[in-house]
Amino acid sequence: MIGRLNHVAIAVPNLEAAVQVYRDRLGAVVSAPVDLPEHGVTTVFVTLPNTKIELLGALGADSPIAKFLERNPEGGIHHICYEVEDIDAAIARLAAEGARILGEGRAKIGAHGKPVVFLHPKDFLGTLIELEQA
Amino acid sequence: MIGRLNHVAIAVPNLEAAVQVYRDRLGAVVSAPVDLPEHGVTTVFVTLPNTKIELLGALGADSPIAKFLERNPEGGIHHICYEVEDIDAAIARLAAEGARILGEGRAKIGAHGKPVVFLHPKDFLGTLIELEQA
């Protein structure tokens, strides 16, 4: 069912410092930051040859990553995103097996304009998983 | 400097249950488990089209992931591994910039027979990074 690893998302307390780590220290290609106010984050993409790393900074008072950053003040891996061909079919299969789907249990348009859904970490080895329709 | 994302490693308390999550629930291709007693882990690889997920179970009393699993009893992402062309050059560059290299500050042969080194999470956005010479 799952296909490519679309990205690994790392929440960071300071996006400018995070860009320095990936661009200057690790020598990677890094995008300009993009504010996504409707998602409460500012994103920077690190382009690797086979996938990408998404650096997430909090944007606004109600950022969905604010609590994560309180618990992880230096930052940390927030989620990993796998591609699926048909997100509704994926949700139906997972729900039928008893896995918990976050939100309202159905796909929404995510930060990159594609249908996404998040899965409960307790049902997936302690990792927050995003599925994105490729 | 960094190249491909070689793998994302997820430490898990029960490798058999973890295989069920990735093989049966998420429908991925999963390898047979391999014990690596000299590294204190048993590994299972999940093959994705563009990279792989490494499921890590503790092996033996002194497993290097035992403390992580105490803190994260349901499991969690333990590290991410980036490929580099020349690991000694990478270590020299990072050390010159003041980044902390774990272990003795030089590459060792890792679990997959290639030179690897781990970088201090406090200098890399709260994420444990493994570099592997491709």
B28-48 pLDDT, tens digit each: 999 999 999 999 999 999 999
A122 → closest Cβ in B26, B49, B74: B74
pLDDT band at residue A112 under the 50/70/90 scheme: confident
The DSSP 8-state label assigned to residue B33 in this structure reads P
Q: Which CATH number covers residue A102?
A: 3.10.180.10
Encode pLDDT of A55-105 as tens digits.
999 999 899 999 999 999 999 999 999 999 999 999 999 999 999 999 989
Res B111: pLDDT: 83
The Cα of B74 is separated from the nearest Cα of chain A by a number of Å equal to 5
**Residues B28, A99: C-beta atoms closer than 8 Å:** no
Interface probe for A, chosen from B7, B47, B77, B79 (most Cβ of A below 10 Å), is B77
Q: Which residues, 6+ apart, have CB-to-CB distance to B73 below 8 Å?
A: B13
Amino acid at A21: V
Instruction: Decide if B129 contacts B118 (C-beta within 8 A).
Output: yes
- Does the annotation mark B130 as catalytic? yes
CA angle A53, A58, A61 (to 5 degrees): 160
Report the complex ipTM.
Answer: 0.96
Q: Is the pLDDT of residue A111 over 90?
A: no
Res B61: pLDDT: 84
The DSSP 8-state label assigned to residue B4 in this structure reads -
Res A61: pLDDT: 84
Separation of alpha carbons B38 and B130, rounded Å: 18
- Residue B85, judged by CB atoms within 10 A of its CB (0-12, 13-18, 19+), counts as exposed
The total of structural domains in chain B comes to 1
Interface probe for B, chosen from A77, A85, A120 (most Cβ of B below 10 Å), is A77
* Residues spanned by the domain of A72: 5-133
Separation of alpha carbons B101 and B115, rounded Å: 14
Instruction: Decide if B58 contacts B65 (C-beta within 8 A).
Output: yes
Task: Spell out the per-residue pLDDT of chain B, length 134, in tens.
Answer: 999 999 999 999 999 999 999 999 999 999 999 999 999 999 999 999 999 999 999 999 889 999 999 999 999 999 999 999 999 999 999 999 999 999 989 999 988 899 999 999 999 999 999 999 99
Q: Which of B82, B130, B78, B80 is nearest to B109 (CA)?
A: B130
